[in-house]
Structure 1
Amino acid sequence: MKEAPMSSRPGIPVLFLMLVLTLAVAAAFVYGANTRSAPVLVGTVLVSIVVFFAWFGFYMVEPNQSAVLSLFGKYVGTVKDQGLRWNNPFYSKKKISLRVRNFESGKLKINELDGSPIEIAAVIVWQVVDSAEAVFNVDDYQSFVHIQSESALRAMASSYPYDQHEDGQIALRSHPQEISQHLQEQIQERLSKAGVDVIEARISHLAYAAEIAQAMLQRQQANAVVAARTRIVFGAVSMVQMALEELKKSGVMELDEERRAAMVSNLLVVLCSDRATQPVVNTGSLY
């Protein structure tokens, strides 16, 4: 059911009219009672009943709020005009907030793509854009938003790994923008029937579950050490190669294969060692 805009009467002029009618009915009733005029009394009673029910047609619409009107269970329209308004007193009026709202999901325990248990939570920013759908398409649209958002978060988290293992692979920890965009699309798809627009969805908490957190930390540290060592070895090999080429180019000395291998070994030890080396200086003849 789509929203249908509906006009309403300004409440202030109608309020003054109702006050005048109420005073007129009271005066007519007093006049009829004093004159003991049955037609006047009967007419006054009938008009007073109409005026009494007309008072129930007033309602207030605040800024960023709408009123969904229905008549005996049938949707009539939606009023978004602000201030005191008046419509048919037999219309039932359901107020819906159009303000931007947000909530943070609880920490959910989920198995990511590789099967490791993680804890994840998200902040969802949303707004009602179709009041009729929010009222009539779902039972409780606020509860619907919360439950469907957590369901989308579970589905999204289980389709990505926690850490990136290959180049170009999207992971929860290394690609926050892509993950947030995917999460927003997933939630919007689920909430479209409730007349809700998802403005933003982003991860607010992400960590390994407590039972594997220490093991995963050790794995991350090991990966970091391996990556660092790989970079050091690559740089050391490049520096040794450059040193040998410069020595050959400058003609400072000629090295045979045995001493060339010894020099490469010593340079690699110096460059790749994780501690400061203590060189032994040979003061005698090289040979």
Structure 2
Amino acid sequence: MIVADAVARGMGEDGDDTLKLPRLGPGRTVAATEIPVHLMFREQAAASRVAAKPAATAKAPRRPRPPQAPAGRRVPPGDDRLRERRGPVLPGWAGAAVGGLALAGCAALLWRTGALPGALVAAFGATPRPYQGLSAQDYPPLAFLGIVALLALGGLGRGKVGHAWVLTLFGRYRGTVRRTGLVWVSPLLLRRRVDVRLRHWRSEPLPAVDSGGLALQVVVQVVWQVRDTARAALAVADHTDYLAEQVESAMARVLSQLPADAFHEDAPTLRDAEAVGDALTRMLAAETEAVGIEVFSAQPTRIEYAAEVAAAMRRRRIAAIDAKHRDSVLTSVVDAVDDTVNRLTSRGLVELDDYERKALVKDLTVAFYTGRGE
């Protein structure tokens, strides 16, 4: 009771959750200690925080659905420094003009010293001068003009439509040149030509398996284009080989989600070329984005069973088609017999007992089925 009163007084005055002991009179000192009250009810609080587990629900059987590219799976974007940017380039006429001026300066200096042959000087309408020899002062300007002419004329190049140059200096990416015609690029830069035209690639028959594990032979046609030349040239050793490997990988993942044929049920199969092509295109575009390749279309042009299972699957398909045909014929025959008997009896043309009705149904069924079969 004393503890309860103390607890009530301690909690009523301050409104907190701690227990404070009352102070004693003068001359009697007791160390006051705060005791957390919630520690006394730890087990009850823990029990109240326990949540009830949800009841397990029975899972319904999953039906196959059209293949879809995984939404969360993407190839790492790679080094951000490998992004296409404009490279250092000048119009070709500027390089040709500088090179021509440097050559003209060298020729004038050699003519002044008489080092040019007289016949060559006369061909340009100038007066030959006697050879006086090259002095030490003539070598620096000759060397400078020669270097300028070599750099100016050596950097001239011809840009083609549908091609680009990837420029590197000592292994470092310096830019991309997409200009066409006569251009000037520093001869110190290493040039690597990249085809940026719209291209298509048709694969050889590739092995794959469907959702049931049956071996398939698939031919895929891919329409693609190099969008980022820096990544295509420098991110991988060969972007065309990378594309071929990714096509085979994506095709194996997409085709393994559905069966090649559904013989006795109406379910999605790999014969839906549009759905399969869309899933393959999305997956392949996500895989090749890291190397600067844009995939516009990836369509399977032929999906066939492998040679070891082709004969068995052909017989199974023929049997399924035959069974479906017989089922449809039998349904139409039964409907025709039922309609004929109902019309005869409803109009009062004949009066049939059970035996005669069964005989008539039997004869009409045989007659109609034989006619439909022929």
Whether these two folds match at TM > 0.5 is yes
- Does 2:315 correspond to 1:218? yes
Give the match for residue 157 of structure 1: 255
The one-letter code sitting in structure 2 at the alignment partner of 1:50 is V
Give the match for residue 97 of structure 1: 195
SS of the residue corresponding to residue 349 of structure 2 reads coil
The one-letter code sitting in structure 2 at the alignment partner of 1:15 is A
Aligned in 2, Cα 1:12/1:46: closer, same or farther, shift over 3 Å?
Answer: closer
User: What is the CA distance between 1:164 and its match in structure 2?
Assistant: 3.0
The one-letter code sitting in structure 2 at the alignment partner of 1:95 is R
SS of the residue corresponding to residue 300 of structure 2 reads strand
Give the match for residue 67 of structure 1: 165
- Does 2:341 correspond to 1:241? no
User: What is the CA distance between 1:275 and its match in structure 2?
Assistant: 7.6
SS of the residue corresponding to residue 60 of structure 1 reads strand
- Does 2:101 correspond to 1:3? no
Separation of aligned partners in 1, 2:332 and 2:370: 13
Question: Contact 2:109 / 2:142 at 8 angstroms: preserved in 1?
Answer: yes
> Which aligned pairs between 1:169-180 and structure 2 lie closer than 5 A?
169-173=267-271, 175-180=272-277
Stretches of structure 1 lacking an aligned partner (at least 5 in a row): 278-287
User: What is the CA distance between 1:272 and its match in structure 2?
Assistant: 2.3
User: What is the CA distance between 1:151 and its match in structure 2?
Assistant: 1.9
Query: Pick from 105, 108, 127: which aligns with 2:225?
Result: 127
Aligned in 2, Cα 1:18/1:260: closer, same or farther, shift over 3 Å?
Answer: same
% same residue: 28
Give the match for residue 105 of structure 2: 24
The one-letter code sitting in structure 2 at the alignment partner of 1:227 is K
Give the match for residue 117 of structure 1: 215
Give the CA RMSD over aligned residues.
2.0
> Could you tell which deviates more after superposition, 87-96 or 191-200?
87-96
Question: Contact 1:29 / 1:41 at 8 angstroms: preserved in 2?
Answer: no
> Could you tell which deviates more after superposition, 22-31 or 106-115?
22-31
Separation of aligned partners in 2, 1:46 and 1:185: 57
TM-score w.r.t. the length of structure 2 is 0.69
Separation of aligned partners in 1, 2:256 and 2:351: 62
User: What is the CA distance between 1:7 and its match in structure 2?
Assistant: 5.5
Separation of aligned partners in 2, 1:28 and 1:141: 51
CA offset digits 1:143-179 (Å, max 9, x no partner): 1111211222222222221113543x32122x01111
User: What is the CA distance between 1:225 and its match in structure 2?
Assistant: 0.9
User: What is the CA distance between 1:133 and its match in structure 2?
Assistant: 1.0
SS of the residue corresponding to residue 273 of structure 1 reads helix
Separation of aligned partners in 1, 2:255 and 2:206: 10
Separation of aligned partners in 1, 2:329 and 2:357: 21
SS of the residue corresponding to residue 126 of structure 1 reads strand
- Does 2:204 correspond to 1:204? no
User: What is the CA distance between 1:82 and its match in structure 2?
Assistant: 0.7
The one-letter code sitting in structure 2 at the alignment partner of 1:265 is K
User: What is the CA distance between 1:23 and its match in structure 2?
Assistant: 2.7
User: What is the CA distance between 1:126 and its match in structure 2?
Assistant: 1.1
Separation of aligned partners in 1, 2:147 and 2:373: 100
Give the match for residue 153 of structure 2: 55
Question: Contact 2:151 / 2:186 at 8 angstroms: preserved in 1?
Answer: no
- Where do 4+ consecutive residues of structure 1 move more than 6 Å? 274-277
Separation of aligned partners in 1, 2:162 and 2:93: 20
Stretches of structure 2 lacking an aligned partner (at least 5 in a row): 1-81, 116-130
> Could you tell which deviates more after superposition, 248-257 or 3-12?
3-12
> Could you tell which deviates more after superposition, 49-58 or 109-118?
49-58
Question: Contact 1:58 / 1:87 at 8 angstroms: preserved in 2?
Answer: yes
> Could you tell which deviates more after superposition, 111-120 or 226-235?
111-120
